Amino acid sequence: MSGSDDTYDLIVLGTGGIGSAALFSAASRGLKCLGIDRFPPAHDRGSSHGESRLIRLSYFEHTDYVPMLRRSYELWDELDTTLLHKTGGVYMGPKDGEIISGVLTSAAQHKLRIDKLHTSDIPQYKVPDDSIAIFEPDAGWLPVERCIQAHLDQARSAGAKHRHGLNISGWEPQGDAVVVKTDAGDFSAAALVITAGPWSSGFLPRLNVPLRVERKHLHWFRCRDKRYRNGFFYELPQGAFYGFPASNGRLKVAEHSGGELVTNPLSAHRNPSPQDNERIEDFVDKYLPGVELERLEHRSCFYTRSPDDDFILDLYPGLHNVAYTAGLSGHGYKFAPALGEILVDLATGKGSSFKIKFLSGSRFK
């Protein structure tokens, strides 16, 4: 597509975790593309920050996520072989609970390796009497800020432009193109990808799906115990908790369930929550005997939850050249390169070879 400096083949609105990957995917195809964001690269105002994100292949949420995860594993290594750390993951919960039964179902359907553990194999964890423990060797973690920066750096190297510090007031179709309106002027493109995270509702008015933005808390505790070499996920009566391999004398842990409703992500505070502090300290004290109850750091981020906690990934209603994803519900970052690829495919009319109908925005109607 030819035209002025403000006219592109594709624009990505929001260049956080998923948007940075979409910008790289578009640029690597030779498209003239632009990424626009209010905040600087790898910022801490959305959902994709806090040093690390878990990645796991035997997905308990839905078996149809697994092919997308396999593609993500490939793309992470293509981006930079130093990003994906395969440290393995330990899952603990009731045998018939959501996590254990879901992991085993995905593993059986997609022929993934899962090892059953004895409690004596993992003395660093307290496994409840009514629970079992299993191990996924292909699970691991991603250094989230480094990953975002890598996507943006390589997108720019491939010819993409990236503008941040721009306030985006909206977008609209204009003939066969789409125009994005900002305080630095209007930008036009043949296609648009919307990856706006906690701000998705404002940019997707026709979606007509309630998206709940929740503040989540991340904690780092002192840990000198070198046995914490794996990521882990607990399903307990009081909630779902997860953590990362210990490094530099500290271990990151958080609660996946729960969350505090946020009405305005831009002005929402980032302060610790006394209730969350109490819940996380109780979890660490009861289930992680090698971790000290000395909190070294606290951060917060946002989950943007869909009504069923599955992603929403689709073309915008009534348009063939505007693709979006929203409501990743706190488990989307590991998919970033695959989601970026799918979004560009959808927006440019290629469709997707993955089974994504279960993620359609129309499923809520």
On whether both 314 and 287 belong to a single domain, the answer is no
The H-assigned helical ranges of 185-273 are: 200-203
Region for residue 42 given its phi and psi (left: phi exceeds 0; alpha: psi -120 to 50; beta: otherwise): left
On whether both 280 and 331 belong to a single domain, the answer is no
**C-beta separation of 253 from 298 below 8 A:** no
Of the pLDDT bands very low, low, confident and very high (cuts 50, 70, 90), residue 3 is: very low
Q: What's the domain count of the chain?
A: 2
Q: Is the pLDDT of residue 54 over 70?
A: yes
- What is the H or E stretch that residue 298 is in? strand 295-305
- Quick one: which of 204, 185, 182 has its CA closest to 194? 204
The tens digit of pLDDT for each residue in 263-321 reads 999 999 999 999 999 999 999 999 999 999 999 999 999 999 999 999 999 999 999 99
Of the pLDDT bands very low, low, confident and very high (cuts 50, 70, 90), residue 120 is: very high
CA 362 to chain CA centroid, nearest Å: 22
On whether both 135 and 169 belong to a single domain, the answer is no
Q: What is the CATH number of the domain that holds 324?
A: 3.50.50.60
Residue 241: C-alpha distances to residues 66, 91, 101, 138, 348 (Å): 22, 10, 17, 20, 39
On whether both 37 and 16 belong to a single domain, the answer is yes
Q: Report the pLDDT value the prediction gives residue 5, as an integer from 0 to 100.
A: 74
Q: Is the pLDDT of residue 1 over 60?
A: no
Give the end of a domain, one of 284, 305, 326: 305
CA distance linking residue 280 with residue 99, whole number of Å? 20
Tell me which residue range forms the domain holding 35. Answer: 7-48+145-209+308-364
Q: What is the CATH number of the domain that holds 226?
A: 3.30.9.10
Neighbours of 356 (CB within 10 A): 20
On whether both 204 and 234 belong to a single domain, the answer is no
**C-beta separation of 27 from 155 below 8 A:** yes
On whether both 170 and 299 belong to a single domain, the answer is no
- Quick one: which of 11, 14, 4 has its CA closest to 190? 11
CA distance linking residue 364 with residue 209, whole number of Å? 7
On whether both 267 and 314 belong to a single domain, the answer is no
Q: Report the pLDDT value the prediction gives residue 365, as an integer from 0 to 100.
A: 82
Residue 97 domain-assigned (yes or no): yes
- The residues that bridge with 363 in the sheet, in sequence order, are none
Q: Is the pLDDT of residue 2 over 70?
A: no
- What is the H or E stretch that residue 347 is in? helix 336-347
Pairing of strands 322-326, 185-194: parallel
Mean pLDDT across the chain: 96
The tens digit of pLDDT for each residue in 126-174 reads 999 999 999 999 999 999 999 999 999 999 999 999 999 999 999 999 9
Q: Report the pLDDT value the prediction gives residue 6, as an integer from 0 to 100.
A: 84
In 127-211 the beta strands, taken as DSSP E runs, fall at 132-136, 140-142, 161-164, 168-174, 177-182, 185-194
Of the pLDDT bands very low, low, confident and very high (cuts 50, 70, 90), residue 4 is: low
Residue 80 domain-assigned (yes or no): no
Q: Report the pLDDT value the prediction gives residue 130, as an integer from 0 to 100.
A: 96
Query: CB under 8 Å to 208, separation ≥6 — which residues?
Result: 365
pTM, two decimals, is 0.97
Query: CB under 8 Å to 79, separation ≥6 — which residues?
Result: 24, 147, 150, 151, 154, 337
Cα dihedral 150→155→160→164 (10° resolution): -20
On whether both 102 and 232 belong to a single domain, the answer is yes
Compute the average pLDDT of residues 27-41.
Answer: 97
The distance in angstroms from the start CA to the end CA of the chain is: 36
Residue 231 domain-assigned (yes or no): yes
Give the end of a domain, one of 254, 273, 305: 305
User: Coil, helix or strand for 30?
Assistant: coil
Q: Report the pLDDT value the prediction gives residue 363, as an integer from 0 to 100.
A: 96
Tell me the residue type at 72.
Answer: S
Compute the average pLDDT of residues 346-359.
Answer: 97
| Crossing angle of the two packed helices 336-347 and 66-79, in degrees rounded to 10 | 100
CA 290 to chain CA centroid, nearest Å: 29
The tens digit of pLDDT for each residue in 180-198 reads 999 999 999 999 999 999 9
On whether both 223 and 354 belong to a single domain, the answer is no
Query: Which own/partner pairs from 44-47 qualify as long-range (CB within 8 Å, at least 24 positions apart)?
Result: 44/299, 44/301, 45/265, 45/266, 46/16, 46/17, 46/197, 46/198, 46/265, 46/301, 46/302, 47/16, 47/17, 47/197, 47/198, 47/301, 47/302, 47/303, 47/304, 47/328, 47/330, 47/332, 47/333
